[in-house]
Amino acid sequence: MNDDLSQRHSAFRFHGSWLEFARIAFPNLLLTIVTLGIYRFWATTREREYLWSKTDFIDERLEWTGKGMELFVGFIMAFLLIGLPLIVIQLISQGLIFRGEAILAAAMTLMMFLLLFYLTGVAYFRALRYRLSRTYWRGIRGGSDDPGFQYGVAYMWKSVMGWLPIFLGVPWSMISLWNDRWNAMSFGPHRFSATAEWKPLMKRYLLFYLVPFLVFIGAVVFGISMAASGGTPDALGSTGMAVGAIFAIVAVLSFYLFLPLAALAYYSKYFRLAVGGLRLHNLEFDFRARAPDWILFFLANMAIVICTLGIGYIFMPYRNWKFFVDHMEAYGEINIDDLTQSETVVAKHGEGLLDAFDVGAI
Amino acid sequence: MSAFFDAWHYDGKSAVRRKVEVQIIGAQFFLLETERRHGPFAFSDIEYVTHKDDADVYGLKGTDGWRLMLSGPVPTDLNAMLPARRNYGGWVDRLGFGKAAVAFTVASAAAVAVVLLSPQWLAPLIPSSVNEKLGDALVGDFGGRFCSTPAGDAALKKLVASLDANPDDLQVEVAKIDMINAVALPGGKVILFDGLVKQARSPDEVAGVLAHEIGHVREKHVMQALLRQMGLAVVLGGIDGNSGALVNNMLSMSYSRESEAEADAHSMKALGGANISPIGTASFFDRLSEMDGSARSKASDNGIAGYMSSHPLSRSRKDAFEKSIVKGKNYKPALTPAEWTELKTMCTQDRKAKSGFGFDFN
Ligand SMILES: [Zn+2]
């Protein structure tokens, strides 16, 4: 490990050990199973308490103050207010199809889809807000006064705008939404500013975007050259067969190997640009992981999960957090006297219902 | 662990870290800095926040970000006044890990048992008006797909009356849909699909299938399945996505097999009571189950797959019907040839009934 050299000057340091984490993760797994999954909200909370408390920012540990009960109550509310109505709507639309009212049923299904689409956007925003408001450093926390309802609308139209030009707008929509989210957040008295640009991301995106086309074009060219070489398929003989087999293997590999690799390369660039565009008062941020780091990280994760027959899955929160903190970097300075308490509201459960959608925030 | 007792304080207003000494005065305390005194604070307002490396972190009710961090050997007089540390969360810490795990297991098993077993008792308690409304809500007039001719209706009525003692609570219809299927719905509704009637070689075959569906109605299977599904959705709701759905499906599958056996038993009894030979039903199952893969996939165009998916055809079912034949009994056909022709051609004669399924608009 070259941790010491590269991390000596990093503002973020992670001191956790996977053995300590195992002592949290295994009892969590057991309790989650015997409670039919209900304990998982407390399990998540305990894991975060550990991971946060083992993370240094400059000279003080982070603190996670979220509660399992908050997540649980939020889940119940989400089930009652969203899950149950969805089930009822589905039943009704099925009944409508039986009665031949297919157009009405389709309209209801569309409405349901749009509502879910909107709530997904709101949930992303709320998850980030929830995490910042429960993260303390030197007794100071983050948060936002924005409930995220407008963000939900932006999420809908920007996602659609990203898809419309044959999916070429995706990098723009991802960066633009990241900026929207973070520009609404603050830590202590300071507002984040997010000014990431999307244009530098296009080259990587095209790489990912073009893999399927390249494979397709390769197949067409191959087919034409085969046809041009004059042989009917059955006259090609064994060499033709062998070439065909190799080509088929390459085509399959491209899809199952190159496509994920290209996706990771794209995502690594996205994350680097997105974090690099972040600013908090006099602090600037940087994420140092490059595409090979992400690829190694992913392969190692897969190896761990497969070699442990799936049990290694419970270490994924640990590995994700460690990867994140190890590559996070901050420059600039903080004036401790200026860093006063956040004035943002702390959404209690009930009020902050959608805090419950604790989807991956960062 | 540091060997010396240390106390640090954040006031929650700024990020300044203060080295303090704790001065206890009865149920209150002050935090003393070299030139400042903070407090007094009541011990009853102190709450445990988290454990940070070698320090326990306490907060103050009502003051956001207020922290008292104690490391090293805490003096006994102070320790006695502080709240207990939290490890797993309230209940588990109070019971101890082992006892809590056992208690949760028992509670979970009990919850699943109640959900699986109670529908049998609950379903008959649901008033028939609710059942009828639910059935109406689900299908209504089936989008005008029910067939009706005076002679056909009379034949169907005769068939139902021979199979059930209270034919008035039943609403049996033939739907103009070219699928081999039959369904029982809440509120005594039974729908025979025209495809099933058309391919039957004798009225006895239709009688067996109809009696089976009436069995579902009389045993309240549909309501039971509905209640069980809802209960499982709630109980297993805590388990995320796929594994929850898998467990749910497996549990309901085993119950549906039980229901099928009950409905078959009901059918054999009804056939015996009506003096209708069960050999027809047995040969119906035989014809369906003897189709090999290719015939089956071709047949799925005609919807045979519909009946097969809800009614797995095993040899044992066919054998059971064959065994229920009583030698020497004077069986009579379920319908006269004229009545049978009327029933079979009912949907062809009724030109007003809409045909097809779902999104079919002609
Ligand atoms: Zn059945």
- Rg, Å, chain A Cα set: 25
Q: B65–A341: do the CB atoms touch at under 8 Å?
A: yes
Tokens 């006297």 found at: A337
Tell me how far apart the alpha carbons of residues A47 and A318 are, in angstroms, rounded to a whole number.
8
CA geometry: angle B345, B346, B352, nearest 5 deg: 125
In a domain, B281, yes or no: yes
Write down which residue in B86, B108, B143 finishes a domain: B86
Name every chain B residue with its beta carbon within 8 A of the beta carbon of A89. none
pLDDT digits (tens, 9 = 90+) for B13-64: 888 888 888 888 888 888 888 888 887 888 888 888 888 877 889 988 888 8
Separation in Å, CA of A336 to nearest CA in chain B: 5
**Whether residue B97 is found in the same domain as residue B146:** no
**Whether residue B105 is found in the same domain as residue B180:** no
Tell me which residue range forms the domain holding B47: 4-86
Tell me how far apart the alpha carbons of residues B204 and B334 are, in angstroms, rounded to a whole number.
5
**Whether residue B157 is found in the same domain as residue B79:** no
In a domain, B319, yes or no: yes
In a domain, B362, yes or no: no
In a domain, B357, yes or no: no
**Whether residue B176 is found in the same domain as residue B97:** no
The model carries a pTM of 0.75
pLDDT at B12: 83
For residue A95, give the H/E element and its range. Answer: helix A84-98
Where is mean pLDDT largest: A313-322, B35-44, B244-253, B350-359?
A313-322
**Whether residue B116 is found in the same domain as residue B183:** no
**Whether residue B117 is found in the same domain as residue B163:** no
Give the distance between the most distant pair of CA atoms in chain B: 111
Say which range, B123-132, B141-150, B184-193, B235-244, has the weakest mean pLDDT: B235-244
**Per-position b or e across A31-68, b if 16+ CB within 10 A of its CB:** bbbbbbbbbbbbbbbbbbbbbbbbbbbeebbbbbbbeb
Asked if residue B118 has pLDDT above 70, the reply is yes
pLDDT at A154: 92
In a domain, B19, yes or no: yes
pLDDT at B97: 81
**Whether residue B139 is found in the same domain as residue B283:** yes
**Whether residue B200 is found in the same domain as residue B174:** yes
Asked if residue B206 has pLDDT above 70, the reply is yes
- Residue A96 vs residue B167, higher pLDDT: B167
Please name every residue paired with B234 in a beta bridge, in sequence order, or none if there are none: none
CA of B164 to the centre of ligand 1 (A): 17
Q: Can you tell me the ipTM of this complex? A: 0.74
Strand order in the sheet with B189-193: B171-175, B189-193, B182-185
Tell me how far apart the alpha carbons of residues A75 and B111 are, in angstroms, rounded to a whole number.
19
Where is mean pLDDT largest: A185-189, B75-79, B98-102, B251-255?
A185-189
Name every chain B residue with its beta carbon within 8 A of the beta carbon of A36. 108, 111-112, 235-236, 238-239
Cα B329 to Cα B40, B273, B277, B332, distances in angstroms: 97, 12, 9, 9
Please report, rounded to a whole number, the percentage of residues in chain A having pLDDT higher than 90: 13
Confidence of residue A353 (pLDDT cuts 50, 70, 90): very low
- Rg, Å, chain B Cα set: 35
CA of B244 to the centre of ligand 1 (A): 25
Tally C-beta pairs within 8 A across A and B: 132
Asked if residue B301 has pLDDT above 50, the reply is no
Tell me how far apart the alpha carbons of residues B196 and B174 are, in angstroms, rounded to a whole number.
10
Q: Report the residue from A27, A36, A46 with minimal CB separation from B238.
A: A36
Please name every residue paired with B191 in a beta bridge, in sequence order, or none if there are none: B173, B183
pLDDT at A156: 92
Mutation for testing the B interface, residue in A13, A28, A32, A34 having most B CBs under 10 Å: A34
pLDDT at B130: 79
In a domain, B355, yes or no: no
Tell me how far apart the alpha carbons of residues B354 and B359 are, in angstroms, rounded to a whole number.
12
Please report, rounded to a whole number, the percentage of residues in chain B having pLDDT higher than 70: 83
Tell me how far apart the alpha carbons of residues A209 and A203 are, in angstroms, rounded to a whole number.
10
**Whether residue B101 is found in the same domain as residue B55:** no
**Whether residue B100 is found in the same domain as residue B182:** no
Asked if residue B126 has pLDDT above 60, the reply is yes
A126: closest CA among A45, A185, A50, A67?
A: A185
Confidence of residue A359 (pLDDT cuts 50, 70, 90): very low
In a domain, B358, yes or no: no
CA of B311 to the centre of ligand 1 (A): 6
How many structural domains compose chain B?
Answer: 3
The CATH number for B38's domain is 2.30.29
Mutation for testing the B interface, residue in A26, A33, A35 having most B CBs under 10 Å: A35
**Whether residue B159 is found in the same domain as residue B25:** no
**Whether residue B227 is found in the same domain as residue B172:** yes
Q: Which amino acid appears at position B166 of this protein? A: N
Where is mean pLDDT largest: A110-124, A274-288, B41-55, B119-133?
A274-288
Give the mean pLDDT of A131-135.
88
- Residue B303 vs residue A226, higher pLDDT: A226
Cα A330 to Cα A270, A349, B101, B285, distances in angstroms: 18, 32, 43, 72
In a domain, B187, yes or no: yes
Structure tokens that stand for A233 in this block: 């398929």
- CA A97 to chain CA centroid, Å, is 37
Confidence of residue A265 (pLDDT cuts 50, 70, 90): confident
